Amino acid sequence: MKYDSIADLVKIAEEQGVNISDVVIKDQAMVREVTEAEAYAQMEKSLNVMRESVLEGIDKDKRSASGLTGSSAYKMRVVVDEGKNICGKVFGEAMVKALAVSETNACMGKIVAAPTAGSCGILPAAILTIMEDKGLDEEKAVKALFTASAVGMVIATKASIAGAEGGCQAECGSGSAMAASALVEMCGGTPKMAEHACAIALKNILGLVCDPVAGLVEIPCIKRNAMGVANAFVAAELALAGIESAIPADEVIWAMKKIGDSMSPALKETADGGLAATPTGKALCKKVFG
């Protein structure tokens, strides 16, 4: 497969009467000249790394090398455990995990780029949270990662997953779209519903700029991961309810590409604009680098 169209992925899955993940596993095994079991085993390792990065990130004493971030996941963990968060347990758990993985990344821990380091918390948070909440077996989670990866490959092929090229819409936006599609499949939705979830999630983050304070993947990146997983749940909920995106996913990806191309270089990972250019942003940069 070329991985240049979400609609094509959906069409193949529908014609075969299977999930998108089934199509992707079979294709990846053939392309890489391995068995489907071997392809599955490698993705299973990624899921385990995601789990480990969540656990590593929930630490009240851990700080990034810059000193700018740390302990957010722990604080959220405490609030959720005490039942004090306003969005309920599922949203709370997802935010804990998204923050944890992102903080593990900021502290130079091992993560799975999903699709990038800057957006690494969104997909793990979505998949692990829904797996735990609904008591789903691990196979559903691993297979959902194949669906998410296919969505990510289409976005990378037709637009970009790099903040330096497309802004944060290309990173957290892509991660959120990938997670939304994965959530739909895990919850029994159809391939078409997964396509709509991808479109809705990506639409919601169109135009998001990449403006890392001090040029580091910490502020505002970590909190945007929490936002990205929340957006993924919203998109999945809508799609599973039968609510469709008026604009097809492939056209949303096209729009994201055009928006990224027209975005000022100052808003594409250069730390020359946006939040990085605020007085506080500049002060934090000076604090880190002198």
31: exposed, middle or buried (Cβ count in 10 Å: 0-12, 13-18, 19+):
exposed
- Mean predicted confidence (pLDDT) in 146-158: 98
CATH number at residue 140: 1.10.4100
In terms of residue numbers, what domain contains 243? 6-289
Distance separating alpha carbons of residues 93 and 277, to the nearest angstrom: 32
Let me know if residue 280 belongs to a domain: yes
pLDDT of residue 273: 98
pLDDT digit string, tens, across residues 162-182:
999 999 999 999 999 999 999
pLDDT of residue 131: 98
Q: Give the separation between CA 54 and CA 44, rounded to whole angstroms.
A: 16
Q: Is residue 35 part of a domain?
A: yes
Burial pattern 123-155, b for ≥16 Cβ within 10 A else e, equals bbbbbbbbbeeeeeeeebbbbbbbbbbbbbbbb
Residue 1 domain-assigned (yes or no): no
- pLDDT confidence of residue 251: 98
Scanning the structure block, which residue is given the tokens 């630490």?
59
Measured CA to CA in angstroms, residue 122 lies from 1, 3, 29, 119, 214 at distances of: 26, 22, 26, 6, 23
Alpha helical stretches, state H, the chain: 6-16, 20-32, 36-57, 72-81, 88-106, 122-134, 138-158, 163-166, 172-186, 191-203, 221-240, 249-262, 279-289
When pLDDT is averaged across residues 9-25 and rounded to a whole number, the result is: 98
Report if residue 24 sits inside a domain.
yes
pLDDT, one tens digit per residue, over 191-215 is 999 999 999 999 999 999 999 999 9
120 and 73 in contact (C-beta within 8 Å)? no
* Structural domain count, the chain: 1
For residue 219, the 8-state DSSP code is T
Length of the chain measured in residues: 290
